[in-house]
Protein backbone atom coordinates (compact mmCIF):
# COMPACT_ATOMS: atom_id res chain seq x y z
CA UNK A 1 0.00 0.00 0.00
CA UNK A 2 1.33 3.43 -0.91
CA UNK A 3 1.81 5.94 1.88
CA UNK A 4 -0.89 8.59 1.70
CA UNK A 5 1.06 10.77 4.16
CA UNK A 6 3.30 11.98 1.33
CA UNK A 7 0.39 14.17 0.30
CA UNK A 8 -1.50 16.05 3.00
CA UNK A 9 -4.46 18.04 1.68
CA UNK A 10 -4.51 21.69 2.69
CA UNK A 11 -8.27 21.82 2.23
CA UNK A 12 -8.40 25.04 0.20
CA UNK A 13 -10.26 26.05 -2.94
CA UNK A 14 -8.43 26.89 -6.15
CA UNK A 15 -10.00 30.12 -7.41
CA UNK A 16 -8.51 31.99 -10.37
CA UNK A 17 -4.98 30.75 -9.71
CA UNK A 18 -4.98 31.23 -5.91
CA UNK A 19 -5.47 28.68 -3.12
CA UNK A 20 -8.15 30.16 -0.89
CA UNK A 21 -9.14 28.97 2.58
CA UNK A 22 -12.68 29.31 3.87
CA UNK A 23 -13.77 30.32 7.35
CA UNK A 24 -16.12 27.32 7.54
CA UNK A 25 -14.93 23.73 7.11
CA UNK A 26 -16.18 20.17 7.01
CA UNK A 27 -14.35 16.96 7.91
CA UNK A 28 -13.72 14.41 5.18
CA UNK A 29 -14.71 10.80 5.81
CA UNK A 30 -12.15 8.46 4.20
CA UNK A 31 -12.59 4.69 4.03
CA UNK A 32 -9.53 4.36 6.26
CA UNK A 33 -7.20 6.75 8.04
CA UNK A 34 -7.90 10.17 9.48
CA UNK A 35 -10.08 12.74 7.80
CA UNK A 36 -9.03 16.25 6.83
CA UNK A 37 -10.58 19.65 7.37
CA UNK A 38 -11.82 20.97 4.02
CA UNK A 39 -13.00 24.51 3.31
CA UNK A 40 -16.70 24.79 2.62
CA UNK A 41 -17.53 26.81 -0.48
CA UNK A 42 -19.71 29.91 -0.37
CA UNK A 43 -21.71 31.90 -2.88
CA UNK A 44 -18.95 34.53 -2.85
CA UNK A 45 -16.40 31.84 -3.80
CA UNK A 46 -18.65 30.81 -6.67
CA UNK A 47 -19.05 34.38 -7.89
CA UNK A 48 -15.28 35.02 -7.90
CA UNK A 49 -14.55 31.77 -9.71
CA UNK A 50 -17.24 32.26 -12.36
CA UNK A 51 -16.30 35.89 -13.02
CA UNK A 52 -12.69 34.81 -13.44
CA UNK A 53 -13.84 32.12 -15.86
CA UNK A 54 -15.73 34.68 -17.91
CA UNK A 55 -12.64 36.87 -18.01
CA UNK A 56 -10.54 33.88 -19.08
CA UNK A 57 -13.00 33.05 -21.85
CA UNK A 58 -12.09 36.25 -23.68
CA UNK A 59 -8.65 34.71 -24.19
CA UNK A 60 -9.10 30.94 -23.94
CA UNK A 61 -12.27 30.75 -26.01
CA UNK A 62 -10.43 32.33 -28.94
CA UNK A 63 -7.09 30.58 -28.49
CA UNK A 64 -5.80 28.37 -31.27
CA UNK A 65 -6.68 24.68 -31.32
CA UNK A 66 -3.00 23.88 -30.92
CA UNK A 67 -2.71 25.98 -27.78
CA UNK A 68 -5.71 24.28 -26.19
CA UNK A 69 -4.46 20.85 -27.25
CA UNK A 70 -1.06 21.52 -25.70
CA UNK A 71 -2.82 22.56 -22.49
CA UNK A 72 -4.77 19.27 -22.37
CA UNK A 73 -1.58 17.31 -22.94
CA UNK A 74 0.14 19.27 -20.17
CA UNK A 75 -2.67 18.46 -17.71
CA UNK A 76 -2.28 14.76 -18.52
CA UNK A 77 1.46 14.96 -17.96
CA UNK A 78 1.10 16.81 -14.66
CA UNK A 79 -1.38 14.21 -13.43
CA UNK A 80 1.03 11.41 -14.27
CA UNK A 81 3.80 13.27 -12.42
CA UNK A 82 1.66 12.91 -9.27
CA UNK A 83 0.59 9.34 -10.01
CA UNK A 84 1.62 7.66 -6.75
CA UNK A 85 0.19 10.41 -4.56
CA UNK A 86 -3.10 10.38 -6.48
CA UNK A 87 -3.41 6.61 -6.11
CA UNK A 88 -2.66 6.72 -2.40
CA UNK A 89 -5.07 9.51 -1.45
CA UNK A 90 -7.73 8.20 -3.84
CA UNK A 91 -7.62 4.72 -2.32
CA UNK A 92 -7.71 6.13 1.19
CA UNK A 93 -10.75 8.30 0.50
CA UNK A 94 -12.81 5.99 -1.72
CA UNK A 95 -11.84 2.50 -0.58
CA UNK A 96 -11.15 1.58 -4.20
CA UNK A 97 -8.18 -0.76 -4.74
CA UNK A 98 -4.96 0.78 -6.01
CA UNK A 99 -5.10 -1.20 -9.27
CA UNK A 100 -8.53 0.25 -10.05
CA UNK A 101 -7.35 3.80 -9.38
CA UNK A 102 -4.23 3.32 -11.50
CA UNK A 103 -6.43 2.14 -14.34
CA UNK A 104 -8.81 5.05 -13.84
CA UNK A 105 -5.92 7.50 -13.84
CA UNK A 106 -4.81 6.06 -17.18
CA UNK A 107 -8.30 6.52 -18.53
CA UNK A 108 -8.36 10.11 -17.28
CA UNK A 109 -5.08 11.07 -18.91
CA UNK A 110 -5.95 9.04 -21.99
CA UNK A 111 -9.15 10.98 -22.62
CA UNK A 112 -7.33 14.29 -22.14
CA UNK A 113 -4.83 13.22 -24.80
CA UNK A 114 -7.62 11.90 -27.04
CA UNK A 115 -9.40 15.26 -26.92
CA UNK A 116 -6.11 17.01 -27.67
CA UNK A 117 -5.61 14.86 -30.77
CA UNK A 118 -9.23 15.33 -31.82
CA UNK A 119 -9.26 19.11 -31.68
CA UNK A 120 -5.94 19.30 -33.53
CA UNK A 121 -7.68 17.57 -36.47
CA UNK A 122 -10.43 20.19 -36.46
CA UNK A 123 -13.19 17.92 -37.73
CA UNK A 124 -15.32 18.59 -34.64
CA UNK A 125 -15.83 22.15 -35.89
CA UNK A 126 -18.20 20.84 -38.60
CA UNK A 127 -17.14 23.67 -40.92
CA UNK A 128 -19.56 24.40 -43.79
CA UNK A 129 -19.29 26.91 -46.61
CA UNK A 130 -21.86 27.98 -49.17
CA UNK A 131 -20.04 30.40 -51.52
CA UNK A 132 -21.82 33.50 -52.69
CA UNK A 133 -23.86 33.25 -55.89
CA UNK A 134 -24.18 36.90 -56.96
CA UNK A 135 -25.80 36.06 -60.31
CA UNK A 136 -28.40 33.64 -58.96
CA UNK A 137 -31.98 34.42 -59.99
CA UNK A 138 -34.35 35.64 -58.78
CA UNK A 139 -32.14 36.65 -55.80
CA UNK A 140 -28.40 36.37 -55.23
CA UNK A 141 -27.07 34.16 -52.45
CA UNK A 142 -24.72 35.66 -49.84
CA UNK A 143 -21.49 34.00 -48.75
CA UNK A 144 -22.33 31.72 -45.79
CA UNK A 145 -19.83 30.04 -43.50
CA UNK A 146 -20.65 28.01 -40.40
CA UNK A 147 -18.48 26.77 -37.53
CA UNK A 148 -18.95 25.47 -33.99
CA UNK A 149 -17.97 28.01 -31.33
CA UNK A 150 -17.47 27.56 -27.55
CA UNK A 151 -20.35 28.68 -25.36
CA UNK A 152 -18.52 30.14 -22.33
CA UNK A 153 -17.91 29.10 -18.69
CA UNK A 154 -19.10 25.61 -17.75
CA UNK A 155 -19.90 24.21 -14.28
CA UNK A 156 -18.88 20.61 -13.61
CA UNK A 157 -20.01 18.46 -10.68
CA UNK A 158 -17.57 15.75 -9.57
CA UNK A 159 -18.92 12.19 -9.35
CA UNK A 160 -18.70 9.97 -6.28
CA UNK A 161 -17.99 6.68 -8.07
CA UNK A 162 -15.14 7.90 -10.30
CA UNK A 163 -12.76 10.13 -8.28
CA UNK A 164 -10.65 10.70 -11.41
CA UNK A 165 -12.39 9.87 -14.70
CA UNK A 166 -15.66 11.71 -13.94
CA UNK A 167 -14.47 14.32 -11.47
CA UNK A 168 -11.98 17.19 -11.28
CA UNK A 169 -10.18 16.52 -14.57
CA UNK A 170 -12.64 13.95 -15.88
CA UNK A 171 -14.61 13.77 -19.08
CA UNK A 172 -16.83 16.82 -18.52
CA UNK A 173 -13.90 19.06 -17.61
CA UNK A 174 -11.70 17.71 -20.40
CA UNK A 175 -14.38 18.07 -23.09
CA UNK A 176 -15.33 21.58 -21.98
CA UNK A 177 -11.68 22.68 -22.00
CA UNK A 178 -11.23 21.06 -25.41
CA UNK A 179 -14.20 23.05 -26.71
CA UNK A 180 -12.65 26.29 -25.45
CA UNK A 181 -14.75 26.73 -22.32
CA UNK A 182 -13.28 27.62 -18.89
CA UNK A 183 -14.47 25.30 -16.11
CA UNK A 184 -15.55 25.73 -12.50
CA UNK A 185 -15.65 22.36 -10.70
CA UNK A 186 -17.78 21.64 -7.67
CA UNK A 187 -15.64 19.02 -5.93
CA UNK A 188 -17.31 15.92 -4.54
CA UNK A 189 -17.13 15.78 -0.72
CA UNK A 190 -16.40 12.04 -0.80
CA UNK A 191 -12.89 12.57 -2.18
CA UNK A 192 -11.79 16.19 -1.59
CA UNK A 193 -8.11 15.29 -1.21
CA UNK A 194 -8.10 13.53 -4.58
CA UNK A 195 -9.81 16.52 -6.14
CA UNK A 196 -7.27 18.86 -4.60
CA UNK A 197 -4.18 17.08 -5.90
CA UNK A 198 -5.67 16.81 -9.40
CA UNK A 199 -6.47 20.52 -9.22
CA UNK A 200 -2.81 21.09 -8.34
CA UNK A 201 -1.89 19.27 -11.55
CA UNK A 202 -4.21 21.49 -13.61
CA UNK A 203 -2.87 24.57 -11.84
CA UNK A 204 0.68 23.53 -12.76
CA UNK A 205 -0.38 23.05 -16.40
CA UNK A 206 -1.99 26.50 -16.42
CA UNK A 207 1.26 28.13 -15.31
CA UNK A 208 3.35 25.96 -17.61
CA UNK A 209 1.26 26.87 -20.68
CA UNK A 210 0.75 30.53 -19.79
CA UNK A 211 -3.03 30.23 -19.57
CA UNK A 212 -5.30 32.74 -17.88
CA UNK A 213 -5.68 31.51 -14.26
CA UNK A 214 -9.46 31.76 -14.45
CA UNK A 215 -9.61 28.93 -16.99
CA UNK A 216 -10.07 26.44 -14.14
CA UNK A 217 -11.29 26.68 -10.54
CA UNK A 218 -12.15 24.07 -7.91
CA UNK A 219 -14.56 24.83 -5.10
CA UNK A 220 -14.98 22.24 -2.34
CA UNK A 221 -17.96 21.73 -0.06
CA UNK A 222 -20.66 19.44 1.28
CA UNK A 223 -23.66 21.75 1.17
CA UNK A 224 -26.34 22.74 -1.31
CA UNK A 225 -26.36 26.55 -1.27
CA UNK A 226 -23.13 27.07 -3.18
CA UNK A 227 -24.03 24.29 -5.64
CA UNK A 228 -27.30 26.08 -6.35
CA UNK A 229 -25.46 29.37 -6.73
CA UNK A 230 -23.12 27.76 -9.26
CA UNK A 231 -25.83 26.47 -11.60
CA UNK A 232 -27.81 29.70 -11.30
CA UNK A 233 -24.92 32.10 -11.82
CA UNK A 234 -25.82 34.19 -14.88
CA UNK A 235 -22.36 33.75 -16.44
CA UNK A 236 -22.47 29.91 -16.38
CA UNK A 237 -23.52 28.67 -19.81
CA UNK A 238 -23.93 24.89 -19.20
CA UNK A 239 -23.62 22.26 -16.46
CA UNK A 240 -22.08 18.78 -16.58
CA UNK A 241 -23.20 16.32 -13.89
CA UNK A 242 -22.87 12.64 -13.03
CA UNK A 243 -24.82 11.40 -10.03
CA UNK A 244 -28.16 10.34 -8.63
CA UNK A 245 -31.52 10.90 -10.28
CA UNK A 246 -32.80 12.96 -7.34
CA UNK A 247 -29.86 15.35 -7.17
CA UNK A 248 -29.58 15.59 -10.94
CA UNK A 249 -33.25 16.33 -11.42
CA UNK A 250 -33.12 19.08 -8.78
CA UNK A 251 -30.19 20.75 -10.57
CA UNK A 252 -31.84 20.25 -13.97
CA UNK A 253 -34.93 22.08 -12.70
CA UNK A 254 -32.79 24.93 -11.38
CA UNK A 255 -31.16 25.31 -14.79
CA UNK A 256 -34.56 25.37 -16.49
CA UNK A 257 -35.95 27.93 -14.02
CA UNK A 258 -33.22 30.50 -14.60
CA UNK A 259 -34.26 33.75 -16.28
CA UNK A 260 -32.08 32.50 -19.14
CA UNK A 261 -32.29 28.68 -19.07
CA UNK A 262 -29.10 26.75 -19.83
CA UNK A 263 -28.46 23.14 -20.85
CA UNK A 264 -27.94 20.63 -18.06
CA UNK A 265 -26.02 17.57 -19.21
CA UNK A 266 -26.81 15.10 -16.47
CA UNK A 267 -26.01 11.38 -16.43
CA UNK A 268 -28.43 10.16 -13.78
CA UNK A 269 -28.46 6.38 -13.64
CA UNK A 270 -29.69 3.26 -15.34
CA UNK A 271 -30.56 -0.40 -14.70
CA UNK A 272 -28.99 -1.46 -18.02
CA UNK A 273 -31.16 -4.49 -18.83
CA UNK A 274 -29.76 -7.65 -20.43
CA UNK A 275 -31.95 -9.83 -22.65
CA UNK A 276 -30.89 -13.48 -22.85
CA UNK A 277 -32.56 -14.96 -25.93
CA UNK A 278 -33.70 -18.62 -25.93
CA UNK A 279 -31.01 -20.23 -28.10
CA UNK A 280 -28.24 -18.44 -26.24
CA UNK A 281 -29.75 -19.52 -22.92
CA UNK A 282 -29.95 -23.11 -24.17
CA UNK A 283 -26.37 -23.20 -25.44
CA UNK A 284 -24.60 -21.27 -22.69
CA UNK A 285 -27.04 -20.03 -20.07
CA UNK A 286 -24.79 -21.01 -17.18
CA UNK A 287 -21.82 -19.25 -18.79
CA UNK A 288 -23.82 -16.05 -19.27
CA UNK A 289 -25.02 -16.26 -15.68
CA UNK A 290 -21.43 -16.47 -14.46
CA UNK A 291 -20.44 -13.46 -16.56
CA UNK A 292 -23.43 -11.47 -15.34
CA UNK A 293 -22.53 -12.14 -11.70
CA UNK A 294 -19.00 -10.89 -12.33
CA UNK A 295 -20.22 -7.74 -14.05
CA UNK A 296 -22.85 -7.14 -11.37
CA UNK A 297 -20.34 -7.22 -8.51
CA UNK A 298 -17.40 -5.47 -10.19
CA UNK A 299 -16.39 -2.53 -8.02
CA UNK A 300 -19.20 -3.40 -5.58
CA UNK A 301 -21.65 -2.69 -8.40
CA UNK A 302 -20.88 1.03 -8.25
CA UNK A 303 -20.89 1.65 -11.99
CA UNK A 304 -23.55 3.61 -13.86
CA UNK A 305 -23.48 0.82 -16.48
CA UNK A 306 -23.99 -1.96 -13.93
CA UNK A 307 -26.41 -4.51 -15.54
CA UNK A 308 -28.94 -4.65 -12.72
CA UNK A 309 -31.69 -6.52 -14.58
CA UNK A 310 -31.51 -9.75 -16.57
CA UNK A 311 -34.46 -10.88 -18.70
CA UNK A 312 -34.64 -14.59 -19.47
CA UNK A 313 -37.29 -17.09 -20.61
CA UNK A 314 -38.91 -19.46 -18.16
CA UNK A 315 -37.82 -23.09 -18.25
CA UNK A 316 -34.75 -25.23 -17.78
CA UNK A 317 -32.41 -22.98 -19.77
CA UNK A 318 -33.44 -19.88 -17.84
CA UNK A 319 -33.12 -21.82 -14.58
CA UNK A 320 -29.55 -22.76 -15.48
CA UNK A 321 -28.72 -19.10 -15.99
CA UNK A 322 -30.22 -18.19 -12.61
CA UNK A 323 -28.53 -21.06 -10.78
CA UNK A 324 -25.13 -20.16 -12.16
CA UNK A 325 -25.49 -16.47 -11.29
CA UNK A 326 -26.67 -17.33 -7.77
CA UNK A 327 -23.77 -19.72 -7.19
CA UNK A 328 -21.17 -17.15 -8.20
CA UNK A 329 -22.83 -14.33 -6.26
CA UNK A 330 -23.03 -16.45 -3.11
CA UNK A 331 -19.23 -16.69 -3.08
CA UNK A 332 -18.67 -12.93 -3.29
CA UNK A 333 -17.94 -11.42 0.10
CA UNK A 334 -18.70 -7.92 1.39
CA UNK A 335 -17.03 -5.06 -0.45
CA UNK A 336 -16.33 -1.54 0.80
CA UNK A 337 -18.56 1.05 -0.80
CA UNK A 338 -17.52 4.56 -1.77
CA UNK A 339 -19.35 6.39 1.01
CA UNK A 340 -21.49 5.65 4.04
CA UNK A 341 -24.41 7.30 2.25
CA UNK A 342 -24.11 5.03 -0.79
CA UNK A 343 -24.01 1.96 1.47
CA UNK A 344 -27.12 3.15 3.30
CA UNK A 345 -28.92 3.81 0.00
CA UNK A 346 -27.98 0.32 -1.21
CA UNK A 347 -29.57 -1.28 1.84
CA UNK A 348 -32.67 0.86 1.35
CA UNK A 349 -32.95 -0.39 -2.24
CA UNK A 350 -32.61 -3.97 -1.07
CA UNK A 351 -35.28 -3.42 1.59
CA UNK A 352 -37.58 -1.92 -1.04
CA UNK A 353 -37.44 -5.14 -3.07
CA UNK A 354 -37.83 -7.31 0.03
CA UNK A 355 -41.18 -5.69 0.68
CA UNK A 356 -42.60 -6.22 -2.83
CA UNK A 357 -45.30 -8.74 -3.64
CA UNK A 358 -44.46 -11.29 -6.35
CA UNK A 359 -40.73 -10.58 -5.97
CA UNK A 360 -38.81 -13.65 -4.78
CA UNK A 361 -35.51 -13.32 -2.91
CA UNK A 362 -32.99 -15.76 -4.39
CA UNK A 363 -29.96 -14.63 -2.40
CA UNK A 364 -30.12 -12.36 0.64
CA UNK A 365 -27.30 -10.78 2.60
CA UNK A 366 -27.24 -8.42 5.55
CA UNK A 367 -24.47 -5.84 5.86
CA UNK A 368 -23.65 -2.92 8.07
CA UNK A 369 -21.44 0.14 7.94
CA UNK A 370 -19.81 0.86 4.60
CA UNK A 371 -19.89 -2.72 3.26
CA UNK A 372 -22.22 -4.32 0.73
CA UNK A 373 -22.79 -7.94 -0.32
CA UNK A 374 -24.68 -9.24 -3.35
CA UNK A 375 -28.45 -9.72 -3.33
CA UNK A 376 -30.51 -11.44 -6.03
CA UNK A 377 -34.25 -11.38 -6.74
CA UNK A 378 -36.67 -12.74 -9.33
CA UNK A 379 -40.05 -11.67 -10.66
CA UNK A 380 -42.16 -11.98 -13.81
CA UNK A 381 -42.83 -9.54 -16.62
CA UNK A 382 -46.37 -8.66 -15.58
CA UNK A 383 -45.24 -7.76 -12.07
CA UNK A 384 -42.35 -5.67 -13.37
CA UNK A 385 -44.53 -3.69 -15.76
CA UNK A 386 -47.11 -2.97 -13.05
CA UNK A 387 -44.62 -1.85 -10.40
CA UNK A 388 -42.58 1.20 -11.39
CA UNK A 389 -40.32 0.88 -8.34
CA UNK A 390 -38.81 -2.34 -9.71
CA UNK A 391 -37.21 -0.30 -12.49
CA UNK A 392 -35.48 2.14 -10.13
CA UNK A 393 -31.70 1.81 -9.95
CA UNK A 394 -30.20 0.20 -6.86
CA UNK A 395 -26.61 1.41 -6.87
CA UNK A 396 -24.61 -1.63 -5.84
CA UNK A 397 -24.29 -5.41 -6.35
CA UNK A 398 -28.01 -6.20 -6.57
CA UNK A 399 -29.57 -8.13 -9.44
CA UNK A 400 -33.16 -8.69 -10.51
CA UNK A 401 -34.12 -11.51 -12.88
CA UNK A 402 -37.32 -10.94 -14.86
CA UNK A 403 -38.72 -14.17 -16.32
CA UNK A 404 -40.79 -14.09 -19.52
CA UNK A 405 -42.78 -16.65 -21.47
CA UNK A 406 -40.90 -16.13 -24.73
CA UNK A 407 -39.54 -13.58 -27.24
CA UNK A 408 -42.89 -11.84 -27.72
CA UNK A 409 -43.30 -11.08 -24.01
CA UNK A 410 -39.62 -10.14 -23.90
CA UNK A 411 -40.23 -7.51 -26.58
CA UNK A 412 -43.28 -6.18 -24.72
CA UNK A 413 -41.22 -5.97 -21.55
CA UNK A 414 -38.43 -4.11 -23.37
CA UNK A 415 -40.96 -1.54 -24.56
CA UNK A 416 -41.91 -0.93 -20.93
CA UNK A 417 -38.43 0.05 -19.80
CA UNK A 418 -37.51 3.68 -19.21
CA UNK A 419 -34.49 5.28 -20.88
CA UNK A 420 -31.19 3.49 -20.30
CA UNK A 421 -27.49 4.06 -20.78
CA UNK A 422 -27.13 0.54 -22.18
CA UNK A 423 -29.15 -2.47 -23.28
CA UNK A 424 -27.60 -5.87 -23.99
CA UNK A 425 -28.69 -8.84 -26.11
CA UNK A 426 -27.20 -12.28 -25.59
CA UNK A 427 -27.93 -14.34 -28.68
CA UNK A 428 -26.85 -17.21 -30.91
CA UNK A 429 -27.47 -17.57 -34.65
CA UNK A 430 -30.87 -19.14 -34.01
CA UNK A 431 -31.97 -15.99 -32.12
CA UNK A 432 -31.46 -13.63 -35.07
CA UNK A 433 -35.16 -13.10 -35.80
CA UNK A 434 -36.00 -12.47 -32.14
CA UNK A 435 -33.04 -10.09 -31.86
CA UNK A 436 -34.15 -8.28 -35.00
CA UNK A 437 -37.53 -7.67 -33.35
CA UNK A 438 -35.86 -6.34 -30.22
CA UNK A 439 -33.45 -3.94 -31.90
CA UNK A 440 -35.93 -1.17 -32.88
CA UNK A 441 -37.18 -1.12 -29.28
CA UNK A 442 -33.76 -1.11 -27.64
CA UNK A 443 -32.23 1.56 -29.85
CA UNK A 444 -35.04 3.88 -28.74
CA UNK A 445 -34.41 3.02 -25.09
CA UNK A 446 -30.61 3.13 -24.82
CA UNK A 447 -27.58 5.12 -25.93
CA UNK A 448 -25.48 1.97 -26.40
CA UNK A 449 -26.72 -1.45 -27.53
CA UNK A 450 -24.42 -4.44 -26.95
CA UNK A 451 -24.50 -8.01 -28.22
CA UNK A 452 -22.90 -10.89 -26.29
CA UNK A 453 -21.03 -8.75 -23.82
CA UNK A 454 -21.43 -6.91 -20.54
CA UNK A 455 -21.83 -3.14 -20.31
CA UNK A 456 -19.51 -2.40 -17.40
CA UNK A 457 -16.52 -0.64 -18.89
CA UNK A 458 -17.01 2.32 -21.23
CA UNK A 459 -14.44 2.65 -24.01
CA UNK A 460 -13.14 6.19 -24.49
CA UNK A 461 -13.32 6.46 -28.27
CA UNK A 462 -14.76 8.46 -31.14
CA UNK A 463 -17.79 6.19 -31.54
CA UNK A 464 -18.77 5.85 -27.88
CA UNK A 465 -22.14 7.09 -26.61
CA UNK A 466 -22.57 7.33 -22.85
CA UNK A 467 -26.02 8.78 -22.44
CA UNK A 468 -29.58 7.88 -23.30
CA UNK A 469 -33.22 8.87 -23.03
CA UNK A 470 -34.42 10.21 -19.67
CA UNK A 471 -33.91 9.22 -16.87
CA UNK A 472 -30.56 7.78 -18.01
CA UNK A 473 -29.56 11.32 -18.94
CA UNK A 474 -31.23 14.69 -19.33
CA UNK A 475 -30.18 15.23 -22.93
CA UNK A 476 -30.66 12.23 -25.22
CA UNK A 477 -28.67 13.87 -28.01
CA UNK A 478 -25.44 14.04 -26.02
CA UNK A 479 -22.73 11.77 -24.64
CA UNK A 480 -20.42 12.31 -21.66
CA UNK A 481 -17.77 9.88 -22.97
CA UNK A 482 -15.94 9.96 -26.30
CA UNK A 483 -14.99 12.81 -28.58
CA UNK A 484 -18.60 13.66 -29.36
CA UNK A 485 -18.78 14.92 -25.74
CA UNK A 486 -17.07 18.12 -26.90
CA UNK A 487 -20.15 19.08 -28.91
CA UNK A 488 -22.13 19.66 -25.71
CA UNK A 489 -20.18 22.84 -25.09
CA UNK A 490 -20.28 24.28 -28.60
CA UNK A 491 -22.93 26.07 -30.62
CA UNK A 492 -23.11 26.70 -34.37
CA UNK A 493 -22.55 30.23 -35.64
CA UNK A 494 -23.16 31.29 -39.25
CA UNK A 495 -21.14 34.16 -40.72
CA UNK A 496 -22.82 35.92 -43.66
CA UNK A 497 -20.69 38.11 -45.95
CA UNK A 498 -18.16 38.59 -43.14
CA UNK A 499 -14.72 39.77 -44.32
CA UNK A 500 -11.99 37.20 -43.84
CA UNK A 501 -10.14 39.56 -41.52
CA UNK A 502 -13.02 39.23 -39.04
CA UNK A 503 -13.62 35.49 -39.37
CA UNK A 504 -12.37 32.84 -36.96
CA UNK A 505 -9.03 31.58 -38.26
CA UNK A 506 -10.48 28.15 -39.07
CA UNK A 507 -13.08 29.73 -41.39
CA UNK A 508 -10.75 31.97 -43.35
CA UNK A 509 -9.29 31.01 -46.74
CA UNK A 510 -11.92 28.36 -47.49
Catalytic residues: 267, 304
- Within 10 angstroms of residue 133's Cβ, the number of other Cβ atoms is 12
Distance of alpha carbon 335 from alpha carbon 144, whole angstroms: 59
Q: Quick check: helix, strand or coil at residue 421? A: strand
Going by the DSSP 8-state scheme, the letter that residue 486 receives in this structure is G
User: What is the Cα 142 distance to its own chain's centre?
Assistant: 42
For the four alpha carbons of 424, 429, 434 and 439, in that order, the dihedral sign comes to positive
In the chain, % helix, strand, coil (3-state, to 5) comes to 45, 20, 35
Contact yes or no for 90/164 (Cβ under 8 A): yes
Contact yes or no for 39/12 (Cβ under 8 A): yes
Task: For residue 240, give the nearest of 491, 492, 473 by alpha carbon.
Answer: 473
First to last CA, the chain: 57
Q: 333, exposed or middle or buried, with CB in 10 Å at 0-12, 13-18, 19+?
A: exposed
Task: For residue 122, give the nearest of 506, 484, 509, 510 by alpha carbon.
Answer: 506
Task: For residue 182, give the nearest of 60, 73, 65, 75 by alpha carbon.
Answer: 60
Give bridge partners of residue 255 from the DSSP assignment: none
Distance of alpha carbon 95 from alpha carbon 97, whole angstroms: 6
Amino acid sequence: MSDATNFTPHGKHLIAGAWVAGSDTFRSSPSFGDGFDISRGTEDDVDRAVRAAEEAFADYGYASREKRAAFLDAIAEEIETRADQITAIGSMESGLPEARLQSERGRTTGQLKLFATHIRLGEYLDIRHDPALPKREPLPRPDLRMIQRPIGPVAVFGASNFPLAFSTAGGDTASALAAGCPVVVKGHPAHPGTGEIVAEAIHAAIKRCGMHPGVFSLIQGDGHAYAQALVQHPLIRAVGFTGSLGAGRALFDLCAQRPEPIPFFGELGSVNPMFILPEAAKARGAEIGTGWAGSLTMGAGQFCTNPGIAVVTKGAEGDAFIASAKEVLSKVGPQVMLTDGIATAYRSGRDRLDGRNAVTPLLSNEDSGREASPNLYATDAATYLQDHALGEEVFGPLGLVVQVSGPEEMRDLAAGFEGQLTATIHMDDGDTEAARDLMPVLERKAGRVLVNGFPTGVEVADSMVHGGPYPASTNFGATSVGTLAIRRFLRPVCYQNVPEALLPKDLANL
